[in-house]
Amino acid sequence: MSQIALPLAWPAAEDERDFCRGEANHQAVRHLEHRALWPVMATLLTGPRKSGRSLLGRIFVAHADATMIDDADRRPEEDLFHAWNRAQAERRPLLLIADAPPPMWQIALPDLRSRIAATPHIAIAEPDDALAAALLERLLGQRGLAAGPDVIAYLVPRIERSYVAILRTIDALDQLSLAKRSRITVPLAREALAAAGVIDDS
């Protein structure tokens, strides 16, 4: 299971064990590790819901004495404007997290729009096969559900490649395993996914 690779001087926090690192988030992690190279004291992080972006942000805040504003695209623009200016004045990193960057995130305030345009943007992508497998294994383990490598190998190519679909898959497996009082096998996984509408493997 891959974990976030943080500088050796950073002690591991409990939350860090819940973050799986893969190609989908590699560039975002590397950017946060090298905040001394940022052109301004702010970064915009975007990515799909349930992608671990807020968890990554909390890890960064804990290690970098930074400020994080989650769902920044839903916050008052004046608040973001002042937070951005304060980060530069105090030389304290500011991490803004949003669903999407401008222009999809439409900013009306010209002064904020110019500042966000000067702010580095990093993105978490949807998971590849390796990260999907790691997340399935991690999330099943967190719920106390045992699934062999054959189950993971069955699931990965059959579910939608998204974080939301991975969570729906875990829910479906959990519910059917509990209802049948059965361990998770490939036949049970096939039934659970078909019943949940995640796949139709008939």
For the chain, which residues make up each domain, given as ranges?
A: 14-123, 129-196
Residues in contact with 179: Cβ distance below 8 Å, sequence separation at least 6, in sequence order: none
Mean pLDDT computed over 15-44: 91
Q: Pick from 46, 30, 50, 22: which is nearest to 124 by CA?
A: 46
Question: Which residues on neighbouring strands pair with residue 184, listed in sequence order?
Answer: 147
- Residue 5 dihedral angles phi and psi, to the nearest 5°: -95, 100
69-83, 113-127, 167-181: lowest mean pLDDT where? 167-181
Q: Is the pLDDT of residue 9 over 50?
A: no
14-23, 58-67, 104-113, 149-158: lowest mean pLDDT where? 14-23
Torsion angle defined by CA atoms of residues 152, 153, 158 and 163, in that order, rounded to the nearest 10 degrees: 40
- Tens of pLDDT, residues 138-170: 999 888 888 999 999 999 999 998 999 999 999
- Tens of pLDDT, residues 62-106: 999 999 999 999 999 999 999 999 999 999 999 999 999 988 999
What is the full DSSP assignment across 17-66?
GG-B--HHHHHHHHHHHTGGG-SSSEEEEE--TTSSHHHHHHHHHHHHT-
The pTM assigned to this predicted structure is 0.84
Mean pLDDT computed over 178-184: 90
Mean pLDDT of the chain: 88
**14-123 has which CATH code?**
3.40.50.300
**Residue 14 confidence (pLDDT):** 45
Q: How would residue 6 be classed by pLDDT, with cut points 50, 70 and 90?
A: very low
Question: Which residues on neighbouring strands pair with residue 42, listed in sequence order?
Answer: 94
Q: Is the pLDDT of residue 124 over 90?
A: yes
Q: Report DSSP state, residue 12.
A: P
In CATH, the architecture of 129-196 is: Orthogonal Bundle (1.10)
Residues in contact with 3: Cβ distance below 8 Å, sequence separation at least 6, in sequence order: 16, 17, 19, 20, 21
Residues in contact with 189: Cβ distance below 8 Å, sequence separation at least 6, in sequence order: 147, 151, 154, 155, 173
Q: Is the pLDDT of residue 5 over 70?
A: no
**Residue 4 confidence (pLDDT):** 38
Mean pLDDT computed over 192-198: 83
**Residue 199 confidence (pLDDT):** 65
Residue 85 identity (one-letter amino acid): N
Q: Are 158 and 199 in contact (CB under 8 A)?
A: yes
Mean pLDDT computed over 185-192: 94
